[in-house]
Amino acid sequence: MTPAELVNPMLSLLYDKPMLLIVDDHVGSIQTLYEIFKEEYEVCVTMNGVEALDFCQKRQPHLILLDVAMPEMNGFEVCQALKSNPLTEAIPVIFVTADNDPFQEARGLDAGGADFITKPFHTRVVMARVHTQLTLRRQTDLLRSLVLIDDLTGVANRRHFDSMLEREWRRCARADSPLSLILIDVDFFKLYNDCYGHQAGDACLRAIASALSLVLKRPSDVIARYGGEEFVCLLPDTPIEGAERIASAMEVAVRCLGIPHEKSEALNVVTISLGVAVSVSTPGSSPAELLFCADLLLYKAKNAGRAQVKSQQL
């Protein structure tokens, strides 16, 4: 492997392996770490902090090996940026440094690092520490999924959505960026349950959740079961045009499932109605206003005949 191939930030092996991101400006260190982990992990590489943060916005590695001493943006600053972002805060970071100063180690732990590895590397120690952190990450993810995932549909639950709404509202406010919310209701679902039974109703909700999830392409987008036959979608950094496109694609995706619904007054298949609200946070505003507006728009879509989208910029 040439140095150019080695430092390619999109370098990837098998996607069913845990992904490690190496962030280091020294090719020799990269080569050593790559040789240690290449057989068991998907190894990706960036050579500075800015590239690392950009990479993590697009693909979230399972663990990051982060050099401390880098130009422009040191490892502590990179770690702090990762931990302040809801999308990347859960990624464990192991600092890699040639400095065995305990004060530096304490600084790294204060910044959110999970562990420290000192150069030169001892292969078995490095592998053991990475394995330990990945095991902890798997356990944490499992516990989180039990708390934050709706057990019927497999998408996020109301608790997760409420948490993400608050966090994304604050983040988008700091960035002066639009936040879009789509409230979704399955049309005439009570009649569906009455006609086909509750087991069929559960299967219908699972199919709808899957169809809605497939429309979303970004890791930052969230689809959640809001309650009963209602779903909600959160789209950070998304203007009204983009939110309308996604909502329309969701409406089509569910209709195209072709689930029979002979009692529906909209079509002869299961359909959804959607309310789309978009806002850029202003002083004194709250995410409750965004949710309230989406609810009103959903009500308008249902009153207009259902199986359609209504949208508004706040």
Identify the CATH number of the domain in which residue 130 sits: 3.40.50.2300
According to DSSP, residue 271 is labeled -
Helix (H, G, I), strand (E, B), or coil: what is residue 297? helix
Catalytic residue among 105, 168, 229, 251: 229
Q: Give yes or no: residues 125 and 244 share one domain.
A: no
Bond before 71 cis per omega within 30 degrees: no
Quick check: 230 and 184 in contact, CB under 8 A? yes
Quick check: 23 and 78 in contact, CB under 8 A? yes
Out of 100, 115, 148, pick the residue that ends a domain. Answer: 148
307 band by pLDDT with thresholds 50, 70 and 90: very high
Q: Give yes or no: residues 109 and 230 share one domain.
A: no
Query: How wide is the angle at C-alpha 9 spanned by C-alphas 3 and 15, nearest 5°?
Result: 110
Domain ranges, residue 132:
3-148
Whose CA is closest to 61, among 109, 13, 97?
13
Q: Tell me the two tokens of residue 51.
A: 């590239």
Q: Identify the CATH number of the domain in which residue 174 sits.
A: 3.30.70.270
Examine residue 153 and state whether it is found in any structural domain, yes or no: no
9 band by pLDDT with thresholds 50, 70 and 90: very low
Q: Is the pLDDT of residue 7 over 50?
A: no
To the query of whether residue 105 is one of the catalytic residues in this protein, the response is no
- Give the model confidence (pLDDT) of 38-62 as tens digits: 999 999 999 999 999 999 988 899 9
Q: What element of type H or E holds 222?
A: strand 222-227
Q: Give yes or no: residues 170 and 112 share one domain.
A: no
Q: Give yes or no: residues 135 and 237 share one domain.
A: no
State the total domains in the chain.
Answer: 2
Summary mean pLDDT of the chain: 90
Q: Is the pLDDT of residue 204 over 50?
A: yes
Q: Give yes or no: residues 47 and 108 share one domain.
A: yes
According to DSSP, residue 261 is labeled -
pLDDT at residue 295, as a whole number: 97
Q: Give yes or no: residues 144 and 162 share one domain.
A: no
